[in-house]
Structure 1
């Protein structure tokens, strides 16, 4: 039997997050809001990537294990509906590890080292030549995740585009070996805000850098974060004209405020002079407090019932395993290793 896919199929969505910390506003505006919208009309799987979290945390694994349920609670709190979206745990889907092993045989070390995202992260983490093998090969693991669920649409930031390129290279090689299109290629869904800056404006908001505003941030945390935000250093007096370029307060207002006409008016007033940083920060704080409070409250309710979160994960994994097992059977057969299935 040949396994082919119709080009008229509705896109299947695969996305996920490393379980290395609670989710933050960068995740919210960069991907989570998209996922909530996509789940209404798409077959969507969200993977809690705990195994990928170990690629640079193997000796501090509690950083991963302690955050698995935090991430699931964040998903539910922002509106991910487990009746519409399959939420599953990477380490409990054995087919993903098997697919990673098969794919590892068609990708060279040189190709992995050329991946610009991997190169950048190796530099940022100062691995030099002490690179964990799991970290170097995590593009292969991502390819396994994407193809296991027949995903064709992957919401990512532009820094992850090299990962999808490498996934599609693997798909092409496996399909060549199988002499049939047993795997589907994928394409990216980019966010309007793939790189929300940190409050100091120096880096992308990132769990690993500890420069985030988390989705469970307290009122005080939000207030302090907004007060510390980088603005225009030359805007010394209220009446001075100010610049909105690189001004983190206006970046956040553009990303999060519900009334963009009002934000445009603020920008014009700030650029002409007559609007102080204190006032713009007050407006932003009110906006973020309004967004985060209901998420924070719902998140805590979910975390108060961890047994239910585990039940939802088990239910999601049962569905995810059924799909991934079908994919791995096709790939296994392409290498002629399906002798026990006769």
Structure 2
């Protein structure tokens, strides 16, 4: 990890991620990138043929929380492999009410397009199951949803989920273009949290209104290395004065260049860059408390897990250790010269994958 050149106010995102000579515009930006253009990279940053297919990974992770429910959904296209998951945690009863996951055929059952903003298209389809996050070309709100037959998630029951994540009046997205260790090349991520939400979730006999909730989006695509590992935290809530508050922190990924840094706060209509993140937790017991903070001193939070989503697989050349606890952050966040006691709902994550 390289220490960041810390800028709370970020430059506007470029019109394209690649310049006219084929070099990636490395950096941390505010705003939505129109498209990821890995095929335009040239020189040491570019890949072609089978190497490009093997190293190109892309995913869309989306989440929503209200006072009652936390919902997470991921659609992952790893080139020669693909999978999805979705779960929902009742925050009042502190237990999961939905768990679903599955593998899929890349490009047929699972797809993640090249546009992280307007025109986003990410879906998973199989008989009895359809999950998606998308945004129409006209620039409407993001749509997140899914339909699961009763047999697809038998412990939960038939599921119908539809939501809109609105960008109007929200703080801008965070876009990071970063080098990654060889044999990877470049990674692009667009993060967005604390977006106003409307919608509903029905799971079996349970119904949840999502109006007034908050949403988060994580679009990532890149030529990644054989091994990819990180620690991640995402949380959403409100400050005592009612302003929407979102948090994104990562350690071990997108942090090998001083100007690439995806640690940020979304406060009302403002996006604020942060210093590097530090995570403390028990790797063998991720259900136990975590601590997360930033080197700039603006974030100091403890995290209590309610439910732990686990995906540990050994499929020969593909081996994954993916642990994502969902729960509650509590602690202190400093905005400007004022420190606030906060409570956020979200996730932490510990991932180490060979692919």
- Using structure 2 for the length normalisation, give the TM-score: 0.24
Asked which structure has the greater CA Rg, the reply is 1
TM-score (norm 1): 0.25
Query: Which is bigger in relative contact order (C-alpha 8 A, separation at least 6)?
Result: 1
**Which structure has the highest helix share of the two?**
1
